[in-house]
Amino acid sequence: MNIVLATNTFTSHVGGVARSVEAFTEEYRRRGHRVLVVAPEFPDIPADEVDVLRVPAIQNFNASDFSVALPVPTGLSDRLQEFEVDIIHSQHPFLLGMTAVRMARAFQVPLVFTHHTLYEQYTHYVPGNSDLMRRFIIELGTRYANLCDQVFAPSESVRDLILARGVTAPVLVVPTGVRVEKFARGDGAAARRRLQIPRDVFVVGHMGRLAQEKNLEFLATAVSGFLQTHPGSVFLLVGVGPFEADIRSLCIRLGVADRLIVAGILQGEYLADALSAMDVFAFASMSETQGMVLTEAMAAGAPVVALDASGVREVVKDKHNGRLLYDATEEEFAAALAWIYQCSPERKQQLVAGAQATAEQFSLEKSAEKALACYERLQSESPDRWSSTEQGWEQVMRFIAAEWEVLRTLTQAGDQALTGGQNEANGNE
């Protein structure tokens, strides 16, 4: 198949969606499929990219580390015609997501959408952040999903949530899988040598984009509380982001700054080594839709301490592969880290074995097989887009119709957000 993946985030940006697209692209190509990634321009784009169409973008939107892609890339239609696209898979309900609708309609191919993100958790990046904006974002995501032939939910929690919000398109749970063998080969001792962490030091680790929506103030406070009562321990952060300075300031205030290690962006074997160096992986985000970083940490043998949330509860099983905490305070989170610290060597090995067994259940191979089977079914159900009777004018008319669908979706989402807010104000909901 010839698969187009349209995404607003991709390398060199660091984040869950970018890493998901990269992982699926690699696996699809390994299985013999062609993949064209349509993504924004970012600083430090790899020079050796293959079949990646970069589109102009506004960099560092609203002081974030995101790029905002311009919605109608020049030359995209010609590139898709040349590529002979079979299916278009959108990763977002806006910007290049709207472009994906236009292209799928114009070329009469199935449109798939992965609901990666709880977008209402990210409205602080948008000017005019408000309850109305959050309602609009929720409504837009729902209406966009209903324009698609198939929706992928990365976890059962997200599937249930979007169905409750009114998604009527078919929904299939397809998590981003993990390359288990890649992370299982990690050399924790090598990472400790590179980062100058003694072998006998207990490492609390975290990996991800360092941003406000990841609940990092809670995490840094909880981990700092653990460090204060456990002198032979350090906090290893892997990642970059706008919240890094806040974490450093908090650790200085709580007197543990000398035991904070920020490794920055790590990839490939260096990432696997760093995860393998962690005695426990700490995770406090409430905005995730899947536990991709959790399964990667588990594949490397790190038990997880996490707050109960969508995408997390499907992965972390309390006292089997870590600790899953409900309505926890920072003090309770620190106590859960201490629980793992105090486990006997035999009990710790049981947690490690449980973590590795969980990672096997979320392998990339299984997820890719599920996604490709769905693509093939959708393709078999769609009409022959290359019919010899098709005229260029018909394609133009479909493009115009798609434009109308996009505008109608945006308008209806705005209307629903406004009327929903009025109903709430009037006590009607």
- How many angstroms separate the CA atoms of 130 and 143, rounded? 20
pLDDT at 123: 45
DSSP per residue, 126-176: STT-SHHHHHHHHHHHHHHHTTSSEEEESSHHHHHHHHHTT--S-EEE-PP
Question: What CATH code would you report for 2-177+364-425?
Answer: 3.40.50.2000
The backbone torsions φ and ψ at residue 380, rounded to the nearest 5 degrees and listed phi first, read -70, -25
Over residues 239-253, the mean pLDDT reads 95
pLDDT at 411: 67
Residue bearing the bigger pLDDT, 267 or 383: 267
Highest-pLDDT range among 5-9, 200-204, 420-424: 200-204
Which tokens is 130 given? Answer: 């408000």
Letter for the amino acid at 197?
Answer: I
Full-model pTM: 0.75
Question: What CATH code would you report for 188-361?
Answer: 3.40.50.2000
pLDDT at 73: 60
- 276 pLDDT higher than 90: yes
Which residues, listed in sequence order, are joined to residue 367 by a DSSP beta bridge? none
Which segments of the chain belong to CATH 3.40.50.2000?
A: 2-177+364-425, 188-361
pLDDT at 389: 37
> Please, is 392 exposed, middle or buried when counting C-beta atoms within 10 Å of its C-beta (0-12, 13-18, 19+)?
exposed
* pLDDT tens per residue, range 122-179: 444 455 556 777 787 788 888 899 999 999 998 898 899 999 999 999 999 999 889 9
* pLDDT tens per residue, range 30-60: 999 999 999 888 777 777 888 999 887 655 4
